[in-house]
Homo-oligomer: A and B are copies of this chain.
Amino acid sequence: MTKDMTPLLGYRLKLAQHALHRRMEEALKPLGLNPAQYAVLAELNARPDQTNADLAERAFITPQSMQGVLAKLEGLRLVERRQDVRHGRRQLARLTPDGYAKAEAANAEMMRVEEVLEAAVHPDTVQGAVDLMDRLHGAMCK
C-alpha cells in the first residue's frame, strides 16, 4: 500500500500556497478584484506602458489568458490600452486614475497579508525563507 502523502514537502508547499491564495482572494474581494487582476494593476503601477505579451510573461500566464484579464480591467475602466505610435501591432496598457487608486488600495491590503506571512517565518529569517523558495523553484524548473 502506498505511503501517506501528508508528511511530504511538496504537499505542504501546496497547502501553504493554497492558503495564501485564498487569503489574497478574500482581501481583494471588497475591492472587486481577484489576484490576477491585482497582479496586473501592481505591475502596470511599477512599469507602465507594457504590452499584453509582456504582462502575460511576468504573470506566468499565457497571452490568451492575459487578454481576458486586460479586457476585463478595460471594461472596469481601471486600465486603458493605446496603440504604440511606433509599432502598428503593439498596444500599450497603463493605469487610469481609477486604476491607480485601486492599485494603491489593493497594494495596502496585500502588504498586510505579506506581513502576516513574513511574521510566520520565525524563528527562520525572511531572507532564509525567500532563498529556500528560490531553491525549490529552481529545482522544479530544471
Residues of B within 8 A of A20 (CB): 10, 13-14, 136, 140
| Closest-CB distance, A97 to chain B (whole angstroms) | 14
Residues of B within 8 A of A139 (CB): 116-117, 119-120
List the number of copies, as a whole number: 2
Q: Is the CB of B141 within 8 A of A12?
A: no
Q: Is the CB of A136 within 8 A of B113?
A: no
Bound Cα distance from A45 to B3, whole angstroms? 9
Residues of B within 8 A of A12 (CB): 129-130, 133-134, 137
Bound Cα distance from A10 to B3, whole angstroms? 30
Residues of B within 8 A of A7 (CB): 130
Q: Is the CB of A140 within 8 A of B116?
A: yes
Q: Is the CB of B137 within 8 A of A19?
A: yes
A126 contacts the other chain (CB 8 A)? yes
Q: Is the CB of A132 within 8 A of B132?
A: yes
Q: Is the CB of A8 within 8 A of B114?
A: yes
Bound Cα distance from A136 to B8, whole angstroms? 15
Residues of B within 8 A of A39 (CB): 5
| Closest-CB distance, A40 to chain B (whole angstroms) | 11
Q: Is the CB of A117 within 8 A of B9?
A: yes
